[in-house]
Amino acid sequence: MSAPVSAPMLLLVSLLGLWVAIGFLGLLRPTSLRLVAHILFPSGAAVGAAIALTAAWSITSPTERWVLGIGLPDLPVHLQRDALSSVFLFLLGAASAGISLFAAGYFRRGEGTLPGLLCLQYHLFLASMGAVLLAADAYSFMVSWESMALTSYFLVTTQHRIPEIRQAGFLYLLIAHLGAIGILLSFGVMQGGSWQFTFDAMRTAELSPGWASAAFLLALVGFGAKAGLVPMHVWLPEAHPAAPSPVSALMSGVMIKTAVYGVLRVTFDLLDDPAWWWGLVAMALGLFSAVYGVVFAAAQTDMKRLLAFSSIENIGLLFTGFGLALIFHAAGMSAPASLALIAVLYHAVNHSFMKGLLFVGTGAVLHATGQRNLGRLGGLIHRMPWVAWPTLIGALAIAGLPPLNGFVSEWLLLQAFLSAHEVPRLFLNMLLPLGTAVVALAAALAGYVMVKFFGVVFLGQPREATLADAHDAGWRERLGMIWLAAGCVLLGLFPNQAISFFALVPTQFGLLEPGATFGRWWLLDPVAGRQASYAPLVFLSIVLLCVVATILVVTRVYRRRVRRAAPWDCGFARLDSRMQDTAEGFGQPIRHIFEPFFGMRRELPSPSDTTPHYRVEISDRIWTGLYVPAATLVQRLAQAVVQLQQGRVSTYLIYSLVTLLVLLGFAL
């Protein structure tokens, strides 16, 4: 290695190597679940925690570069760690620590592929995500990017006996591959005239505005396909539910964020001066995905599909923040741009904790009851308290309720929106504030979805008799969930420390002068010009104080006598569990209000129907409107081309004669 490699980079690369080693250790005795569950996954979690620590420790140190020996002869593998990759490495390490801990207790016999093979794919998936965050040249980025897609494809199709899971896996890998092609084209355009594919060459290559816009749009489409931005989102609600829960937690929590990392790296780092309309395109896509995702989440009856659509909503919010930051950056307003960028980074980290916790919760429920359909769950809080309460924390956090972390990143995003009216462009300063309303709508709808999710799964009466013997999660699963829940709470209560950690990224991009502070340690006051502050610690202590005071006063003064009785059934026959609100019922107002979003097919019982049943079929208009016609077009094209091969020798001879004559014609 030419330059002496600095400590953090060496440590990070060796930790990634450790992950790969753990993976291959699994192959030694692929059938023994004990080795995998008791030794390999916990050590994977430890490595994840170590990566998070190194990333957090190394974020303040300057950018490090390292050129490895391997790779193409004239394009060896370049690695680079800077503030942006440190933030996402912290995200990868922290979230994967909790999820791996949960996975240690989650995988049992008969889960499709052998545990050893699963452990290999799982840890290769983690290592490739780490490699994506460190790659500093097009070739190694593409190799790690697509091996991330490949390993996650194998993880998605663990139970490959079920045809739907195979379908989901195929769709996922196909769209991931097409996205990767977009990214490859964008890198090709970005290398400008320099014919080199290292990121440093791309930074120095000056592109004409036309080529720069082409590179940006290709990158947006390519990374949007991996992130699940709306027109390219169709794979996400299929792939995430098909994967085992820890894997869908990793995919939703961490893999989608690598797409956000990619978009940030391309626009803020590699392309220098953005056009004003770039941000608008990203924000429009983001806002539409946010509303589209949350509206579909509200209408789902399968809990993992519900969470997958909620991931689409959060990706929409991330891309909205990214678009906003881009608009401010283009307009030269660096303070609001850095605020929006911090909001995006903060929400990315928050979402990986929240969504990881929820997916892991559904995993525990799935293992206990074997049910994924919301119509067959309910009342699990009594039998699975250790799963219910952390999931409640996750649900409240993702609904964006104050003391927890979801609210902080949303609050920052809204503060950034508040300075949107100063953008000099004519129509933009009027359109952007409307963005606030859409973000608020999406956040409120998220609250609606989470009440539906938590209420239908954990509260009320069990809708199936078999739920009675649902057992609580194992101690390793509880540990994993507590780690993630603690992450949610701490990120919510100490925003200032977190923001000082994230603010290093805009400083690296030159949007913020180094050493900027955001109010006292307990009070968050990000915007200089505006008097807007939020102190979660004080806030939470006051609320707790009031609650405890009320409890003491009420119980002390009025004797604590409680009697249990049947709930009010307005005098008719005894209420049973089927009279509760089902998942479709809870989604009915949304389906009624957001009618145009859905392709709906209802089966209503006719009056004379002896066994009346009511079924509603929700279909995604984008799937029927965009993907099916594309497939039929290729089908028809193939049909036309195949006529060439009719089987007669003489026709083939005619082809070669005609080719010969045509070429001779050219040669004249």
Q: In the complex with another protein, which residue's Cβ is closer, 302 or 581?
A: 581
CB of 591 vs another protein, minimal distance in Å: 11
CB of 508 vs another protein, minimal distance in Å: 28
Q: In the complex with another protein, which residue's Cβ is closer, 514 or 573?
A: 573
Q: In the complex with another protein, which residue's Cβ is closer, 363 or 400?
A: 400
Q: In the complex with another protein, which residue's Cβ is closer, 62 or 188?
A: 188
Q: In the complex with another protein, which residue's Cβ is closer, 185 or 281?
A: 185
CB of 507 vs another protein, minimal distance in Å: 25
Residue 127: beta bridge partners? none
Distance in angstroms (rounded) separating the CA atoms of residues 371 and 349: 30
Backbone angles phi and psi of 610, in degrees to 5: -75, -40
- The sign of the dihedral angle between the CA atoms of 260, 261, 262, 263 is positive
CB of 476 vs another protein, minimal distance in Å: 25
Q: In the complex with another protein, which residue's Cβ is closer, 34 or 161?
A: 161
Q: Count the Cβ atoms, other than its own, within 10 Å of residue 49.
A: 18
And the tokens for 40? 């390999």
> Which of 453, 460, 468 lies closest to 579 in space, CA to CA?
460
| H/E run at residue 67 | strand 64-72
CB of 2 vs another protein, minimal distance in Å: 16
Q: In the complex with another protein, which residue's Cβ is closer, 437 or 626?
A: 437
Q: In the complex with another protein, which residue's Cβ is closer, 203 or 421?
A: 421
Distance in angstroms (rounded) separating the CA atoms of residues 95 and 357: 9
Q: In the complex with another protein, which residue's Cβ is closer, 554 or 626?
A: 554
Between strands 75-81 and 64-72, the pairing is antiparallel
Q: How far is CA 429 from the centre of its chain?
A: 30
> Which of 346, 338, 348, 341 lies closest to 322 in space, CA to CA?
341
Q: How far is CA 169 from the centre of its chain?
A: 17
Distance in angstroms (rounded) separating the CA atoms of residues 314 and 291: 10
Residue at 326: amino acid letter: L
Distance in angstroms (rounded) separating the CA atoms of residues 521 and 503: 15
CB of 67 vs another protein, minimal distance in Å: 13
CB of 503 vs another protein, minimal distance in Å: 20
Residue at 406: amino acid letter: G
Residue 601: beta bridge partners? 617
And the tokens for 234? 């169709």
CB of 331 vs another protein, minimal distance in Å: 16
Backbone angles phi and psi of 460, in degrees to 5: 70, -165
Q: In the complex with another protein, which residue's Cβ is closer, 138 or 498?
A: 138
CB of 121 vs another protein, minimal distance in Å: 12
Say if residues 605 and 614 touch (Cβ distance below 8 Å).
yes
**DSSP per residue, 160-216:** TTSHHHHHHHHHHHHHHHHHHHHHHHHHHHHTTTS---BHHHHHH----HHHHHHHH
CB of 164 vs another protein, minimal distance in Å: 11
Residue at 664: amino acid letter: L
Residue in the structure block whose two tokens are 């102190």: 535
Q: In the complex with another protein, which residue's Cβ is closer, 60 or 204?
A: 204
CB of 56 vs another protein, minimal distance in Å: 27
CB of 249 vs another protein, minimal distance in Å: 23
Say if residues 30 and 41 touch (Cβ distance below 8 Å).
no
Q: In the complex with another protein, which residue's Cβ is closer, 101 or 136?
A: 136
Q: In the complex with another protein, which residue's Cβ is closer, 1 or 608?
A: 1
CB of 549 vs another protein, minimal distance in Å: 8
Say if residues 299 and 447 touch (Cβ distance below 8 Å).
no
Q: In the complex with another protein, which residue's Cβ is closer, 611 or 656?
A: 656
Residue in the structure block whose two tokens are 């994924």: 372
Distance in angstroms (rounded) separating the CA atoms of residues 225 and 263: 11
Residue at 403: amino acid letter: P
Between strands 615-620 and 598-603, the pairing is antiparallel
- What are the distances in angstroms from CA 283 to CA 278, 432, 438, 512, 557? 9, 9, 11, 22, 55
CB of 389 vs another protein, minimal distance in Å: 9
